[in-house]
Chain A
Amino acid sequence: MSATLGKTALHQGLIAGLVGFAVVCMFLLLFYRVLGVIAVGGLIVYGAYFFALIKLIPVTLTLPGIAGVILTIGIAADANIVIFERVKEEIRGGRSIVSGIATGYTRGFAAIVDANVVTFMTAFILFALATAEVKGFAFMLGIGTLLTLFTAVLATRAALGTMGRTRLMSHSWALGAGKPKREWTFDFMGASKWFFSLSGCILLIGALAIGGKGLNFGIDFKSGTRIQTAFVKAVSPAEVSAVMTAEGYPNAQVQKYSSKGIGGSGYQISTEKLKPTAVHEVKNALDSKFGGGPSSPGTKDFSSTSIGPTFGQTIANSALIAIIASLLVISAYIALRFEWKYAVPVLIALMHDLLITSGIYALTGREVTSATVAALLTILGYSLYDTIIVFDRVRENVPRMPRAAFSQIVNRSMSEVLTRSLATSFCTLLPVLALLLFGGSTLKDFAFALMVGIASGAYSSIFIASPVLTHWKEREGSYRQRHARIVRELGAVPAYATAVGGAPVDVEPDRKKRRRSRRGGLITEEPGQQISRDEFRELVQDLDVDGAAQAGKRAPASVAQSAGATGPPNGDGDGAPAAKRAPERDPAADLTPEDLVLKDAPKPRDKRRRPRNKRHGRSR
């Protein structure tokens, strides 16, 4: 490859990267206000460290490498968004600003660690197994992921810890945590049939396009030469084709080509037969045909790329092996951290995204180059990241909703993460859009693949992976029992598990408070703020403390409410809701909130104390 082409593409890529960075910063500032300022600060620190590292380590910045950088900008912003959304949720739930920040970081941390570990593992395996082009991508992705953990979690946490008690952050409005403008109440699982059908139709069209049109493989995957050049005077594609035919290359593809380096009058000529040694003959023919004589050649900014027959194949094969290896390791990690049943939907969603991108490539006839392989790897990384963040919320909500059907748990989780998912996808699409607009024609195909893949990745996390998980988990005995009980009580399973008052039904899961207090950190929860106002109200509602106080020794009444919307009317005809009387314990039901929250009555202590061992375990 000639230096001019590479330099131009890299220059365009860097400009696109900077524009993308600026647009992401603007988005964060607009959406998260003061938190956005901190996130932008974190991104600037990230950028500075990243620049220092790639200067420190002798690394060649390639096109796939730029893809890795762009992905990590998205991931860095995403990590901030995950935490900020948690902080906003906690503050909206009734916590103070300081307590909301502390809890938001604590609860968002596990999701970010899981997502980053998986991304880093992918990068590591790709680096170990793939060829040079993909290695560049993997290296940048790996470094970026580690830095993200540092800047998004530690640096911004330190900044927030310092600013948390200042006047600047005294109002929830400053954090964008006022009353939510929109609460999602969509039945995601109920509508999954239609989303599945949509994906099925897209894949069907893609499969037919693969058969009918096939993929347009670039010369990276065949042998041949590609020439990119501008002309000093206006020429038509037919004239260029005529010169190529005269030189003995009648099947040469001649396409208009524009970039900032070459301008708008450029052409790209691709042919499988042209050998590198014969490129100068073609150049001479073009110069003499379109120039004004030997002293004024007809071409300018002439560059050529010649590729051997095995180059693209080697890249594709090694990338394929690396992808399979990384998927195996990721599955093992997800099985360990979540549950093995969570790993399969992740893989199905990945497959969905990669195949949809391939189908759209076939449909649009865009050229598949080695950069497309890097784009597919980027899609893989992003899709994984997004699905894990969504599944993390499902995992968190499972113990909180001990009597809800799995579809209700997933619906609730989706409604909680949808805003975040839309925000992060938009945030990641911004730098890709910058690449599409400012990246020049070399990067446009690449950016197009990224755009399709990222959109598909966000979509599949919510509308493919989650329904697959729901369908699979609902086959488990405990969830079958919950489903049967809710159907028996309410006639059907409502989309969301709500109590009589319409409040969400959940219980505070048993958290590892001992470990959290040991970890310490810059921000700690305020005394009395271990649970938020909303959580306290829900606990009171679940335990029916007020009702119990009035009615004396009455059994807790929340059992009948916890899974469905309302209980059936009681039999004595007084019209009071069923929740106001002690329900019969359903033998088919699983744990109730009382089982989780109330402890057994303390056993009477044995007054007789054992004789004290004064020797304290010392041997005689």
Chain B
Amino acid sequence: MGMLGWVMMGLAIWHFTIFLPDRFWGGIVGAFLGSLFGAIIFGLIIYGAKVGALKVPGQHATDIAVVLYAVPGALIGIAAVYFEGIRRESRSV
């Protein structure tokens, strides 16, 4: 259930990248992957640090706070893909 929440949060945040200039590494699909993987990995890390084991929260362990763990991960993922895109652009120029 936690994984479902993280994926949904990552996908939700990705939708707003359309307001940014398309300088992502891999374009809008790169941003999608960055957001999704960022949300999942960060969610796993924070939840893992909380319970002391790397596992996906089940139905009863998932609450709003657990779902919100994905937000910084998604933002970091999108930012990473964006700056990588800028770096590659400047290198090719």
Contact = CB atoms under 8 A, between A and B. Distances in A.
B59 interface: yes
B25 to A, nearest CB: 11
Nearest to A200: B15
Contacts of B59: 214-215, 217
The contact size tier of chain A is 20 to 34
Interface stretch (B26-34, B46-54, B76-84): B26-34
B8 A200 contact: no
A282 B14 CA distance: 51
Centre residue among A204, A207, A474 by max chain B CB count within 10 A:
A207
A470 to B, nearest CB: 9
Interface in B1-38: 1, 4-5, 7-9, 11-16, 18-19, 22, 27-29, 32
A359 interface: yes
Given A207-B12, A355-B8, A358-B8, A214 B22 contact: no
B64 A211 contact: yes
A359 B8 contact: yes
A155 interface: no
Given A211-B68, A212-B63, A475-B22, A203 B8 contact: yes
B15 A210 contact: no
B19 A211 contact: no
A193 interface: yes
Contact of A348 (B27, B32, B68, B70): B32
Interface residues of B, number: 28
Contacts of A468: 28-29, 32
A210 B67 contact: yes
Nearest to B67: A211
A475 B65 contact: no
A590 to B, nearest CB: 20
A164 interface: no
Interface string A280-323: 00000000000000000000000000000000000000000000
A353 to B, nearest CB: 11
B4 to A, nearest CB: 6
A474 B68 CA distance: 33
Interface of A: 192-193, 196-197, 199-201, 203-204, 206-208, 210-212, 214-215, 217, 344, 348, 351-352, 355, 358-359, 467-468, 471-472, 474-475
Interface of B: 1, 4-5, 7-9, 11-16, 18-19, 22, 27-29, 32, 59, 62-68, 70
